[in-house]
Amino acid sequence: MIYFDNAATTRPDPEVVKKVAWCMENTFGNPSSLHKLGIQAQLEIDAARKQLAGVLAAAPETIFFTSGATESSNLAVRGAAGAYGRRRKRVITSSVEHSSVREAFNRLEEEGFEVVRISPRKDGNFSISDFTDAVDENTCLISIMMVNNETGYILPVKQIFTQAKRKNPEIITHCDAVQAFMKLPVKPADIKADLVSVSAHKIYGPKGAGALYVRKGIRLIKQNLGGKQERGMRGGTEAVPVIAGFGEAVRLLGSNMSQRKEYTYSLKKYLLMRLSEIQGISVNSREDAAPYIVNISAVGIRSEIMLHYLEERDIYISSGSACSKGAKSGVLSQFGISPEAEDSALRISFSHHNTTEEIDIFVQALAEGCARLKRK
């Protein structure tokens, strides 16, 4: 099997699997219980919190566990707008966000907020001043992703947040860092983010665990109503095994981030070199995009057709435009990619476990697919 769909999800590390199973067997107590079993479960959560805090260079009290980044971003966007948007009704985001942020903003719009969505310029690049020009004294929130999940495009989050805060020191800044976490440095204090969303299953952790960094002093209106878990920020019994698995995944990836990135750059370079040998392939990702995601188009062949052709050969990739039941996200067209290229877009997303040999097999299958499927 060749798995090039790591931006969708990753195969859990065997050590993570062991940790999750161990917790299910051994620390099954409810962390809210006052007895020994509850305390043991709470200790697992505290240990995971410390791991996350460590890589984010933040205090453990700033980390709140959730069920995944979708929940984290919902809490960030809706929670911040609820807390700070009573009088200041303007909110800003980019037009290429993941649906978890995009839909949260759509909901704010329905509720009476003025939503400003900043698009890339004609050349497919974002301009920092387009964001800062949109900030005014009525703006309560700005939310921007760090790495786009369809193209790997790296948004200039630090510069945008720094300038936004200079113009309006009251503004709350949120970053969806899901595709950057443990791949590029994500330090909330450095990028001037008040809120940062991350997810476990993109980093060889289990599904069902995520976290939101909340800078000390930032208030959020709670979205999961219920108990006082996560210091009152999120009701619901904590998913101890997957939270512990999240901590373990972070621990395992803790060092060597730059080596992994360099290695992945070499994979991307090799892939692009090999792809240049195939006629009819265009590359939609920019050269300076994150190396983990490469978006291409086999023009003339619909994404799903090629995806299933490759699947039959035990090669797994994504259609390049994140789809929800056949509806395209529209993100590629925002980056200036033509409708034809969007219809045939494919996303290859790497793990540091992938190899150039796998790329060779993939490229051969892709070339054969291009030749066969175009003829039909």
Query: Under the rule (CB under 6 A), what is the footprint of ligand PLP?
Result: 68-70, 98, 100, 145, 149, 176, 178-179, 199, 210
- For 239, residues 6+ apart whose C-beta sits below 8 A from its C-beta are 65, 67, 208, 209
Alpha-carbon gap, residue 23 to 369, rounded angstroms: 45
> Distance between CA 151 and CA 345 in Å, rounded?
10
Q: How far is the CB of 63 from ligand PLP (least distance, A)?
A: 15
Phi, psi of 62 (to 5 degrees): -90, -5
What is the closest distance, in whole angstroms, from the C-beta atom of residue 322 to ligand PLP in the complex? Answer: 7
Dihedral pair phi/psi, residue 279, rounded to 5°: -75, 140
Round to whole Å and give the CA distance between 131 and 5: 31
Nearer to ligand PLP, 101 or 172 (CB): 101
- The residue among 42 and 143 lying less far from ligand PLP, judged by its C-beta, is 143
Of 113 and 181, nearer to ligand PLP (C-beta) is 181
Crossing angle, helix 240-253 and helix 14-26, to 10 degrees? 150
> Shortest gap between Cβ of 137 and ligand PLP (angstroms)?
30
In the bound state, the residue with its beta carbon closest to ligand PLP is: 68
Given the residues 23, 140, 175, 323, the one annotated as active site: 323
State the minimum distance, in angstroms, from the CB of residue 97 to ligand PLP: 8
Contacts of residue 51, Cβ cutoff 8 Å, sequence gap at least 6: 247, 248, 250, 251, 254
Closest CA to 4 of 249, 288, 358: 358
Task: Yes or no: say if 68 and 209 are a contact pair by the CB < 8 Å rule.
Answer: yes
Report the nearest approach of ligand PLP to the CB of residue 236 (Å).
15
C-beta of 70 vs 284, nearer to ligand PLP: 70
Residue 140 appears among annotated catalytic residues: no
**Residue with Cβ nearer ligand PLP (8 or 373):** 8
Q: Which residues does the annotation mark as catalytic?
A: 323
